[in-house]
Structure 1
């Protein structure tokens, strides 16, 4: 049996609903976000889980909570799974950022691997800390199903790193809407992307909510 990692993005927050940048802001889930967490637990509680890892932010812990309760397993919290720190852009929409930090924003859009948000993190830094967690998981568990609950940019950066995609293109190569699941299987041939950004565990109402 091979190791399979399920990457789950947290459920809806006020920031994701309003399309504003939320990295270090420790936001909670909206009522709809809590519904998304329960829908994931309902759909995946029968999966034989080996371990659960989560970012220590409230929105990820609350997303993992219904599944953890259902299968009686505690999440292992890792700072490396936190979202990118958006610095002075935290809580602002792209429109406001483009107006107030225009040059930094243009550089970040062109190559976020080496150009960070104003006073924020670059993607290479996120890749380094997040991939340390993935390597830890691979070292601890040679087989089984492991859930990783994290964030939009962080998951896309991890997937880019695993699949050989330029980290500087993570925003334009991989989708990761709220409460979506991406699945990577590890074998002797390396990581294989089996599923990208699946949301079939959500009903149509939750899938069609505004915001990402």
Structure 2
């Protein structure tokens, strides 16, 4: 038996609905986001979980809570799973950033691995902190199922890191809609992507939401 890592993005927030930059900003889930979390718990509660690792943000904790309550498991909070720090772009729209931080925005779009949002984090920095959590999971749970509840950019960067994809291309190669789950199996030849961005645990009306 191998380790299976389930990477779940948090449910919908106001920012994931509007597309505003939200990293260290800490909004609650919307009512629909709460339903997304409950839907995940209802479908996945019968899997024998070894552990649940969670970013210490309100939106990720609220997403993990229905499952943890259902299975009677305490979530393990890890700072390494936090979302990208958008620095001075936090809470701003893309149009605002294009106008007020034009040079940094172009550099970030071109090569985000090494160019951060103004005052924020690069994807290399995110991969570095998140990889410590993944290494901890691999060491503690070499077999079985582990859930990681995190954020859009962080999950995409973790997947790129595990799969050998250029970190600078995380937005171009992988998507992670609100409350979607991706599954990576750690096998003899290394990490194998088995599921990417699945949302079929949710009712159709929730799946139809954009979930940016």
TM-score by length of 2: 0.99
- Give the drift of 1:176: 0.3
Aligned length in residues = 212
Aligned counterparts, 1:1-212, within 5 A: 1-212=1-212
Q: Which runs of 5+ in 1 are unaligned?
A: none
1:178 counterpart SS class? coil
- Give the drift of 1:210: 3.6
Contact 2:177/2:210 (CA < 8 Å) preserved in 1?
A: no
- Give the drift of 1:211: 4.3
Contact 2:55/2:82 (CA < 8 Å) preserved in 1?
A: yes
- Give the drift of 1:96: 1.2
Deviations along 1:119-142, one digit per CA (max 9) or x if unpaired, are: 001110000000000000000011
- Give the drift of 1:155: 0.3
Q: Which moved more, 1:90-99 or 1:120-129?
A: 90-99
Aligned partners of 1:205 and 1:29: how far apart in 2? 17
1:192 counterpart SS class? strand
Aligned partners of 1:184 and 1:156: how far apart in 2? 12
TM-score by length of 1: 0.99
- Give the drift of 1:208: 1.4
Deviations along 1:21-44, one digit per CA (max 9) or x if unpaired, are: 100001110000000000000010
- Give the drift of 1:188: 1.4
Deviations along 1:56-92, one digit per CA (max 9) or x if unpaired, are: 0000000000000000001000000000000010011
2:148 counterpart SS class? strand
2:178 counterpart SS class? coil
